[in-house]
Amino acid sequence: MAGIEVPYWDHVNIAGVCAHMKLVAFDLDGTLARSKKPMKPAMAQQLSELSSHIPLAIVSGGKMDLVQSQVIDVLTPEADRDTMHIMPTSGTRYYRWNHGGWEEQYEYSLSPEDRDTVVASLELHAREQGIWYEQTWGDRIEDRGSQITFSALGQQAPVDVKEQWDPDNRKKNALAEVVQADVPHLQVRSGGSTSVDISLRGFDKAYAVRELAKLLGIEVRDIVFIGDRMDPDGNDYPAAKAGTTALRVRGPEDTLELCKAMNAWFDA
């Protein structure tokens, strides 16, 4: 499939989008909240209200505990967890609400051998490229079981510093390219502001939305996918390529306005 250009949400007819959508899926960091930070109260309120109107999915590169702290823990009592689909680590895990708790439906993990190879490759090439820094905010490499994530500045780096480190994605893309050559059987993608994600090949946000469509008995085009990284090198782009109705946002403040518009359409 040729490359596609994903429109910003305020460049489309939202009423027309709302009229046909059957599920709304969201990226997390840079879309619902800033990196590793909880959603702001206004966003939590709008997302909770939206869950009472239509099924929602959260498809994040982060672990389940991050989705828990950034999204689930700040939902309002209005939120309908029964309609929610939580797909952390880029869709390699899937959780549904069941009898008062989140129950794992599946998990696809890397082998111990692949994890060791990936970690060694990341360190080797990050040092070669001058992005293996002596001082970081927390761990550089996180083993998430189903995904290995390299964070150049450390997992706990300040959001403002992370957002300024690689604004054109060149550093992340260069590292991803050489690591991919070392592990051609795996999927290596530029992730968040400072990160590169490695998982099993074929398990990305395209897989997540196709799996959701199959499980719910809907078409992929009936899923609206909202993300901030919709450029061809971005980790939200596979969901657009898979055939969702993809909408681009500029950040959490933009997503808040989009959710307000969707809730207004349902309430009209």
pLDDT of residue 105: 95
- pLDDT the model gives residue 239: 96
pLDDT attached to residue 58: 98
Indicate the annotated binding residues for alpha-D-mannose 1-phosphate: 144, 195, 197
- Could you tell me which of 3, 12, 1, 4 has the C-alpha nearest to residue 224? 12
Could you check whether 9-108+203-267 and 112-200 share the same CATH topology?
A: no
Say whether pLDDT at 13 is over 60: yes
Q: Which of 29, 204, 236, 254 is catalytic?
A: 29
Is 29 part of the annotated catalytic residue set? yes
The mean pLDDT of the chain is 94
**pLDDT tens figures, 91-133:** 889 999 998 999 999 998 999 999 999 999 999 999 999 999 9
State the catalytic residue, choosing from 10, 27, 143, 182: 27
Q: Give the list of residues 6+ apart from residue 203 with CB closer than 8 angstroms, or none.
A: 90, 91, 92, 108, 146, 187
Answer for the pair 32, 39: CB distance below 8 angstroms, yes or no.
yes
Q: Which one, of 178, 177, 202, 190, lies nearest residue 229 by Cα? A: 190
Residue 38 tokens read as 């909880």
Give the CA count within 13 Å in the CB-facing half-sphere of 185.
7
User: What's the pTM value of the predicted model, to 2 decimals?
Assistant: 0.84
The CATH fold of domain 9-108+203-267: Rossmann fold (3.40.50)
DSSP string computed for 20-66: H-SEEEE--BTTTBSTT-PPPHHHHHHHHHHHTTS-EEEE-SS-HHH
Q: Tell whether the model's pLDDT for residue 236 goes beyond 90.
A: yes
Query: Sorting pLDDT into bands at 50, 70 and 90, what band is 203?
Result: confident
Query: Is-contact 255 43, C-beta < 8 A?
Result: yes
Confidence check: pLDDT of 256 > 90: yes
Contact 255, 26 (CB under 8 A): yes
Give CA separation, 226 vs 28, 236, 254, 255, 258, in Å: 9, 8, 11, 8, 9
How far apart are alpha carbons 233 and 174 in whole angstroms?
Answer: 11
Cβ-contact 8, 250 below 8 angstroms: yes
* Superfamily designation of domain 112-200: Eukaryotic phosphomannomutase, cap domain (3.30.1240.20)
Q: What is the mean pLDDT of residues 182-204?
A: 90
Taking the C-alpha atoms of residue 90 and residue 49, their distance in angstroms, rounded to an integer, is 25
For the cut 90, the answer to whether the pLDDT of residue 191 exceeds it is: no
pLDDT higher than 70, residue 1: no
Q: Using an 8 Å Cβ cutoff, are 36 and 156 in contact?
A: yes
pLDDT for residue 52: 97
Three-state secondary structure call for residue 206: helix
- At residue 2, the pLDDT reads 60
222 among known catalytic residues: no
Domain boundaries, the chain: 9-108+203-267, 112-200
Largest CA distance in the chain: 57
Binding residues: 27, 29, 144, 195, 197, 228, 244
| pLDDT 10s digits, 145-181 | 888 999 999 989 998 999 899 999 999 999 999 999 9
Contact partners, residue 218, CB within 8 Å, separation at least 6: 22, 23
For residue 57, give Cα distances in angstroms to 71, 100, 138: 11, 18, 29
Q: In the prediction, which pLDDT does 3 show? A: 79
With 90 as the cut, is the pLDDT of residue 74 above it? Answer: yes
Binding-site residue positions for Mg(2+):
27, 29, 228, 244
